[in-house]
Amino acid sequence: MAEEQSPTEASSKTVTLRIAKSNPEHDSASQFAEFKVPYERWTTVLDAILDVKKHMDHSVAVRYSCRQASCGSCGMKINGRPGLACFTKISELNSDVVTVEPMNNYPIVRDLVVDLEGMFSTHKKMKPFIINEESEVTANTKEFLQTPEQVEEYIQFSNCIKCGLCNSACPTMATDSSFLGPQALTQAYRYVADNRDKGKNERLKIIDESHGIWRCHFAGSCSQVCPKGVDPAMGIQMLRGYLLGFKK
Amino acid sequence: MRESIIMKIHYGTALGAVVLVAVHVLFRITMMSYGDSLQYENVIANYKFVPYAIMLELILVLLSVHGFNGLRVILIELKQGRSYEKAVTYGCLAAMAILIAYGSRTILMTSMGMT
């Protein structure tokens, strides 16, 4: 039987991968475990972590699924900056040491895995669906036709994969645990800006509270870290336009 | 009160204060030299000129409302909790009212010559 080999074992280049290890069930302290990992030009941070998990330390906890920046499962802090591990190549980090840590502003489950329940619950609070009585499927169901301009109003905001990186980068979320966060606010805008939707007033009421949209300081870090090119900071400012009466 | 109404007041008071403080500073540097404008008699004369006293009162109200709402926002971002947030809101309202009352008393007494 052939000996199982790491896919990157033949590489001459190596990187030191520092993985934050913690288990809040036993101890809240986090420790870094260091591993020398070979890599190629195309090796992603997730590849390197899985390499470690397979050949060096089976206990490393990491959440992943699609490996192509579609599912939003592998969000983590990579060299201090929130990013998707499957979407970040080691060769592009220009560093001999790559440090991976769990995302900020979420409770840690173990090692690199965080609990995203809070984000999903605020996401649901925004009623992330088209509210329109006519959208119910009936015998006379008709299509809602939209012009390209109407689609342009919201389409980039519908690219959100709920990876939670924007909430992790948000400075307000770091201090205000009740803040709705850029992910939820962006989703509110996605539906408010959709001309098929009739739930604008409901959503504006939900976000117009003391820990809602007004707590955004417009740092813009959410937009910088989004791997799908969504601009939550802009969505939040556009939503404010509705509340301040600049937009109808 | 809805947060959007509070924030409209917050932005409005900021804009109003910037305009009125600019007028106030221009008065200080255009009527006479800045040093002279701060002489005791000249300061008292400002208060006795009713339109100017009204402007000072407006600046007091605008800055107090804006400042204490800003403080409320900072405090509720630092810590959360129903009773804490209630205490912060009412505490800031009370502090704002006290500051406006004390400042208005000063403006009123000075403009009436009770110095």
pLDDT in tens, chain A (248 residues): 444 555 545 567 999 999 999 998 888 788 999 999 999 999 999 999 999 999 999 999 999 999 999 999 999 999 999 999 999 999 999 999 999 999 999 999 999 999 999 999 999 999 999 998 876 666 666 678 899 999 999 999 999 999 999 999 999 999 999 999 999 999 999 999 999 999 999 999 999 999 999 999 999 999 999 999 999 999 999 999 999 988 77
Measured between beta carbons, the chain A residues lying within 8 angstroms of B84 are none
Closest CA of chain B from A178, distance in Å: 7
Q: Domain A14-114 adopts which CATH fold?
A: Ubiquitin-like (UB roll) (3.10.20)
CA distance A57 to A51: 9
Q: Which of A210, A214, A243 lies closest to B85 in CB terms?
A: A210
Domains and CATH numbers, chain B: 3-111 (1.20.1300.10)
- In angstroms, the separation between the Cα of residue B5 and the nearest Cα of chain A is 9
B3/chain A closest Cα distance in angstroms: 5
> Which residues between 127 and 186 in chain A have a beta carbon less than 8 angstroms from any beta carbon of chain B?
172, 175-179
Assess A215–B contact: CB distance below 8 Å, yes or no.
yes
Q: Contacts of residue A177 in chain B, CB cutoff 8 Å?
A: 80
Domains of chain A, residue spans: 14-114, 117-244
Residue A234: CB partners within 8 Å, gap ≥ 6? A223
Q: Which of A133, A126, A121, A123 is nearest to A196 (CA)?
A: A133
Backbone angles phi, psi at A228, to 5 degrees: -110, 10
- pLDDT the model gives residue A6: 55
Question: Residue B90 — pLDDT band, cuts 50, 70, 90?
Answer: very high
Nearest to B78 among A175, A208, A211 (CB): A175
Out of A175, A208, A243, name the one closest to residue B77 (CB). Answer: A175
Average pLDDT over every residue of B27-33: 87
Q: In this structure, what token pair is assigned to residue A47?
A: 């590849």
Alpha-carbon distance values, A202 to A126, A181, A189, A208, B38 (Å)? 9, 18, 12, 10, 54
Average of pLDDT values for B44-50?
A: 92
The whole-number pLDDT of residue A40 equals: 94
Residue-wise burial string across A214-241, b where 16 or more C-beta atoms lie within 10 A, e elsewhere: bbbeeebbbbebbbbebbbbbbbebbbe
* Chain A contact present for B82, CB below 8 A: no
Q: B4 is written with which tokens?
A: 């959007």
Residues of A in contact with B6 (CB under 8 A): 214
Instruction: Answer yes or no: is pLDDT of B38 > 90.
Output: no
Residue-level pLDDT at A1: 40
CATH number of the A117-244 domain: 1.10.1060.10
Are B76 and A172 inside 8 Å of each other by CB?
Answer: no
Which residues of chain B neighbour A172 with C-beta distances below 8 Å? 77
Tell me: the pLDDT tens digits for B57-80?
Answer: 999 999 999 999 999 999 999 999
A176 to B4: CB separation less than 8 angstroms, yes or no: no
Distance of residue A241 Cα from the nearest chain B Cα, in angstroms: 11
Closest partner residue to A208 among B3, B77, B80, by Cβ?
B3
ipTM of the prediction: 0.82
